[in-house]
Structure 1
Amino acid sequence: MPKGVGKRHSAAQIVEKLRDCDAMLKSGKSVSEVVQHLGISEQTYYRWRSKYGGMSSDEAKRLKELETENARLKKLLAEAELDKAMLKEIASGNW
């Protein structure tokens, strides 16, 4: 697999890995050791920690669902705005 192309983790998997990280860190391991053991980069660890830290699996799943719905709604709005702009252009006689 090319560098920078990795496996996608579900929100529930991320929360579980963060719990594993917490346990390993409490046992005295360093962040470097923990991320190496889990097969992720430190950057990924800190990104996950800022986004999912303290969440339960259910909360993480709900967040992912909301993000997906938000993206869908943004796309619909953009398409509606394009349609509106085209109709204005046609109505103005510049078509």
Structure 2
Amino acid sequence: MRNKRFSKNQIKIILNEYEAGKPIPEIIEKYQISQATFYNWKAKYQNDSINDPEEIKKLKEDNERLRRMFVDISLENQKLKTLLEKYEESIKKAL
């Protein structure tokens, strides 16, 4: 497998230059990449905001909230199963 010349963070820096208004030909010349490479990076990484610390924090908070919800629902489900078993046993005894 071929070694990559640019890391994901370096690619994001290059794309940020483009977003700041730097023309594509200047970027291509400065970093010695092809136009196809630039457009491939743009398609792949431009909307990737996962390195944004605020986005990561928000995702972690959402993840924690969903985990708590899952635990609560699981406990409730277990309680209902136990009650159902007791109810079924009482019906069997009554018959």
User: Which category of TM-score, normalised to the shorter sequence, fits these structures?
Assistant: 0.3 to 0.5
Higher Rg = 2
Ranked by relative contact order (alpha carbons within 8 Å, sequence separation 6 or more), the top structure is 1
